[in-house]
Structure 1
Amino acid sequence: MLGTKIAWDDTVLPFQLDKSDVRGRVARLDGVLERVLEQHNYPPAIEALVAEVALLTAMIGQTMKLRWKLSIQVRNDGAARLIATDYYAPTADGQPARIRAYASYDEDRLDPTGDAFANIGSGYFAILIDQGEGMKPYQGITPLTGKSLAHCAETYFAQSEQLPTRFELSYGRSTLAGGDETWRAGGVMLQKMPKASPSVAKKDDAPVEGLLQASDILEGDDFENWNRANILLDTVDPLELIGPSVQPTELLVRLFHEDAPRVFDAQPITFGCSCSEESVRRSLSIYSAKDVKTFTTDEGTVTADCQFCGAHYIMDPKTVGFEAEVKSDGGAE
């Protein structure tokens, strides 16, 4: 049982530790996460994995100077085959960012009793950045490793960006006083601020082998400052992370008061999907009339469902594909 709802729910608060050269984010998701998960009747283990990746997406997306979209994909050969999330940047100052998420899994192979991460097999953790029309997309991939998807994200930043990064997350079902049981999630992201010319440290003048860690990237005062920030974050309580009784600003003062925490404008987060009938038609435009006939239903329609938001589209097969006989509005092609 938790206290009353506060204004920090569904927000990401950026901050900086001025004395440590460390930046970070505090995130709180409640209504957004509930909207994401209510689209599907996921088993508890899959719900937990989706919650974890959604929380990571909110924090990572807010660190990027996006024009459009950041996506995270976790693909593997385990029972939780795919977890995909999208973060859509705000379209204007003061507007919320949007998040959506989806999972594909093999229910017969799920382990419902153990840790949710036990359902993740060998595969990769990928971040994809799409800056919109006319811009070249970016994709970074790292192997799945560690004991959580948060650990995989930390490895991604060490490998792809050479930025020591730490995530401390908490998520699960909770009940506000006098309310219903809902999903809540919260977390803190720490990241060493990049230098003008980042370089990987070498041990005994030999290149570092295997996956990078903070000690491979930082030296001297940089490593000491980073290590201290992590030790302080180790003292956080899960209930401090998810709230709602402890405000993010109070949490930062409690954890890092000696490092001069400085906060910036909070970013509101909402649930949102980019699907539309137009986008479905574009995806079907590669098919001939003969192909369209193969996926036309017995009722004489072409249907499509959005895996993220559950939207259901029904179309006339004569309006689908590159050999469409009529326009979707009924006009002659």
Structure 2
Amino acid sequence: MSLGTKLAWDDTVLPFQLDRSDMRGRVARLDGVLSGVLKQHDYPPAVEALIAEMTLLTALIGQTIKLRWKLSLQVQTNGPVRMIATDYFGPEAEGQPARIRAYASFDRDRVEDDKPGFEQLGEGYFAVLIDQGKGMTPYQGITPVAGSSLSDCAASYFAQSEQLPTVFALSYGRSSEPGTEEHWRAGGIMLQHMPKASPFAKDGGSGEGGLLEAKDLVGDDADENWSRVNAHLQTVEELELIGPNVTSTDLLVRLFHEEQPRVFDAQPVRFGCTCSEDRVRQSLSIYSARDIEKMTTEDGQVTADCQFCGAHYRLDPASVGFEAGDGDQ
């Protein structure tokens, strides 16, 4: 298969619906997005794996929301990996790609490369933030870090905050295809009951610490469908999710042909950052001239670095802050 053909479904999110079982889902394949995210920093392999998983979750979840601006996922813990942050910016116009960016903060001396990434998170929380832009009140939902993966945390969020039974099948790792440099790839499937099929659970859940799980939310009339579709999903193989030889549509047919799958238009996704000099100036506009003086380097500049894309900004201290003269703006 040619590289050009493979790229037809790389860096896309394909929405679908299973008409027989009243479920909806997404298939995501990420390649260039991960390269854009990970090349900005020298992350240890365990941290790279966490970022790959979080970026994949962001692509899958972001496409399910009608966004005017931004979805953010965040994990904050007391472990060696202190924070992982991702942003998904909805398309600016029909036919345009969505943009994703991500980064992690970690204690390099505490990261153990022989341990799986999730074991290096410690205690903390998993948060989903939706910001629809100026004039809109941001939404935030939080659930404890629990389970054995970030996808478990995401499924727990949907169970607690949205009362939606949700399951993920994800795969990610370094690819060494002939003729290309080794790089990260990721692929995954997200499945959810349609909202009307989700009864509200009133008494605690069966998950860790009493958290709700998908099975706690599936009513008797939908339990058979949920069990059957999950059994199909569990047959998916790693190479089907991230390999170059199975298209997203072929994968859905292979897994769910009995469920009457129906696909919609795929959403392209790209690595992209929204940082700019104007945004840096805006963030500094709350500081006085005295505050700006304390931020000024020995060579007489105010500097700022974007954690997401690595951009470096150097500004004249006389031109920033709320006391800056009009002539220096």
**Could you tell me the TM-score, scaled by structure 2's length?**
0.95
Give secondary structure in 2 for the equivalent of 1:212. coil
**Paired AA for residue 249 in structure 2:** T
* Contact 2:16 2:261 (8 Å CA) reproduced: yes
SS at match of 2:196: coil
Q: Equivalences for 1:310-321 in 2 at 5 Å? A: 310-321=310-321
1:190 aligns with 2:186: no
Aligned to 1:289: 289
Q: Which residue of 1 aligns with 2:264?
A: 264
Aligned equivalent of 1:253: 253
**Distance (Å, rounded) in 2 between the aligned partners of 1:221 and 1:36:** 43
**Distance in 2 separating the partners of 1:136 and 1:272:** 24
TM-superposed CA distance for 1:328, in Å, is 4.6
**SS of alignment partner, residue 15 of structure 2:** strand
Q: Which moved more, 1:317-326 or 1:259-268?
A: 317-326
2:299 corresponding residue in structure 1: 299
What displacement does 1:60 show? 0.2
What does residue 91 of structure 1 align with?
Answer: 92
1:27-42 to 2 correspondence within 5 Å? Answer: 27-42=28-43
CA deviations 1:200-249 (Å, max 9, x no partner) are 246xxxx2352111222112231111111111110000010012111011
CA distance in 1, matches of 2:56, 2:183: 15
Q: Structure 2: where are the runs of 5+ without partners?
A: none
1:82-124 CA deviation, whole Å, 9 max, x = no partner? 0000000001110000000010001111111011111111110
Q: Any stretches of 5+ residues in structure 1 without a counterpart? A: none
Which residues in structure 2 correspond to 1:72-87 (within 5 Å)?
Answer: 72-87=73-88
* 1:201–1:218 contact (8 Å) kept in structure 2: no
Counterpart CA distance in 1 for 2:296 and 2:125 is 35
Aligned twin of 1:70: 71
1:178 aligned partner, one-letter code = G
What CA distance in whole angstroms lies between the structure 1 residues aligned with 2:325 and 2:201?
Answer: 63
Q: In the alignment, what sits opposite 1:181? A: 182
1:311 corresponds to which letter in structure 2? A
User: 2:66 is matched by which residue type in structure 1?
Assistant: K
Deviation of residue 267 (structure 1)? 0.2
AA aligned to 2:156 is T
Aligned residue for 2:167, secondary structure, equals strand
Distance (Å, rounded) in 1 between the aligned partners of 2:187 and 2:21: 23
Counterpart CA distance in 2 for 1:170 and 1:58 is 14
Letter in 1 for 2:100: I
Percent identity, aligned pairs only, is: 66
SS at match of 1:199: coil
CA RMSD of aligned residues (A): 1.4
Instruction: Report if the CA contact (8 A) 1:13-1:267 is conserved.
Output: yes
Alpha-carbon distance, 1:326 to partner: 4.4
Aligned to 1:55: 56
CA contact (8 A) 2:118 2:150 kept: yes
Equivalent residue letter for 2:313: Y
2:116 corresponds to which letter in structure 1?
D
In structure 1, give the amino acid aligned to 2:70: K
Number of equivalenced pairs: 323
Q: Give 1:9-24 correspondences, 5 Å limit.
A: 9-24=10-25
Shift of 1:327: 4.5
Contact 2:199/2:219 (8 A) holds in 1: no
Q: What is the rounded CA distance, in whole Å, between the counterparts of 1:298 and 1:161 in structure 2?
A: 51
Cross-structure match for 2:122: 121
Question: Structure 1 residue 134 and structure 2 residue 114: aligned?
Answer: no
AA in 1 matched with 2:262: R
Deviation of the 1:325 alpha carbon: 3.0
Deviating 4+ runs (over 2 angstroms): 2-6, 198-202, 325-329
Whether 1:323 and 2:319 are equivalent positions in the alignment is no
TM-score, with length taken from structure 1: 0.94
1:13 touches 1:26 (CA, 8 Å); kept in 2?
A: yes
Q: Quick one: structure 1 residues 233 and 327, their matched pair in 2 at CA, closer, same or farther if it must change by over 3 Å?
A: farther
Maintained 8 Å contact 2:155/2:214: no
Say if 1:25 and 1:189, in contact at 8 Å, map to a contact too: yes
